[in-house]
Amino acid sequence: MQVVWTARFDCQEGTSTDGRKAKSKAKKEADAIRSQQGLVTVGEEEGEWIVLWEVDGGASEVWFEGSIWAEMRAALRGGLAQLLSSGYRMVLGFVPDTDIHERRMKERQEWVNCYAQLYAKEEVYEQLTKWRRELASRLKRAPYWVATNRMLRLVSAFLPHTLEELKQLPGFGEIKIQSFGDDIVEITKQHERSTTFPLEWVQAAITEQQFAQWIYSEWEAKQRDELTKLTERRKLLEGIQQGQTLLQLMELLRIDRRELIMRIETLEREGYQVETLVEAELASMPREERQAIDMAFVELGDEYLKPVYIKAFGEAALEQATASVQANYERIRLLRLLHRRQKHAPADRQVS
């Protein structure tokens, strides 16, 4: 194996992951296990990548084995983030982003977010998510449109009792305050709090080690998510090439039909051939329905689906059972893939 890159990491002796010095004998012994050095190595042999984490005097751990460079990179970054969130710091070598905590700790807002993640009150958070879910359902909007999970954790941690206090939390601008502020404060006022506004005290309430651990835990989750997306994208492309059906691809990736069609649309936009899969899925579709949708695309364009739906099926069809409406929309979306491919085919031939 040819070594392409390597870096050495060290975990400081006597420092736990929350930044406090070990005091008891048992605590010191536990920390001593973590106080060690190790080596991260990236190697390549005949087109196959391997990423290893080797603790000095201990066993090695394989972070990645495979031929896809992008997947290897994501696995490497995820492993590095895990080391950094566990208290390790690089002592030899160079890795971009291994000092992101030093840059982000300069922003007061980051300390506020960190405190909220560490000290969110789960009972209040659950109450807020229930309110958000019910409101989003009434408004026919996605829950994150009302408020993100991070925003609700901020509320549950700091418990603002007035709109002015709510405005001090990141993410709550004038529009959010006007639209949902009263509802949120009505919930938070039911709970006593032990902290105060304004939030200048937050930075002193968190150690730098806690802050770094939070930063790199987030980075690790982001990299793991990126690796999952890359791996699932490869599996989807392989499945399409092998002639698998939508149902088989859903089982392979463990995702629902709507999510799968969205991913297929992304592949089509990137230039991948998906026509065979789409044609196979639409083989049982009544010819008259398909012609009606094709004509609607020609007349109305393909940017918005609802006008096409009404033109092809009639406005009354929107009042059918949810499953029927969803199935019709899925057929329209699949046919749109073919329509766009046919529309761009002359230009593609001209370029080639």
Residue at 247: amino acid letter: L
pLDDT for 16 beyond 90: no
**Band of residue 28 on the pLDDT scale cut at 50, 70, 90:** very low
Name the amino acid, one letter, at 26.
Answer: A
Max CA separation in the chain (angstroms): 79
Is 51 buried (19+), middle (13-18) or exposed (0-12) by CB count in 10 A? buried
Higher-scoring residue by pLDDT: 186, 223: 186
| pLDDT at 127 exceeding the cut of 90 | yes
Q: Give the DSSP letter string of 245-312.
A: -HHHHHHHHT--HHHHHHHHHHHHHTT---HHHHHHHTTTS-HHHHHHHHHHHHHH-SS-HHHHHHHH
The pLDDT, as a whole number, for residue 86 is: 84
Residues in a beta bridge with 62 = 52
Note the pLDDT of residue 215: 87
Whole-number Å distance between alpha carbons of 213 and 208: 9
Residue 158: exposure state from Cβ atoms within 10 A (0-12, 13-18, ≥19): buried
State how far the Cα of 155 lies from the Cα of 145, in Å rounded to an integer. 16
Is the predicted pLDDT of residue 25 greater than 80, yes or no?
Answer: no
pLDDT tens per residue across span 315-339: 999 888 888 999 999 999 999 999 9
Residues 6+ apart with CB under 8 A from 133: 143
**Could you tell me the pLDDT band of residue 14, with boundaries at 50, 70 and 90?**
very low
Mean pLDDT, range 1-14, rounded to an integer? 81
Question: What is the overall mean pLDDT for the chain?
Answer: 87
Report the distance separating Cα 34 and Cα 17, nearest Å: 10
Spatial separation of the C-alpha atoms in residues 196 and 202, rounded to whole Å: 10
d(CA 312, CA 290): 9
Give the residues across from 42 on adjacent strands: 5, 51
**Minimal CA–CA distance to 216: which of 38, 11, 1?**
11
CA count, 13 A, side-chain hemisphere, 188? 24
- Taking CA atoms, 60 is separated from 1, 55, 63, 72, 93, in Å, by 16, 6, 10, 17, 19
pLDDT of residue 22: 39
The segment with the largest mean pLDDT, out of 12-16, 32-36, 291-295, is: 291-295
CA distances in angstroms from 278 to 261, 309, 338, listed in the order given: 10, 19, 8
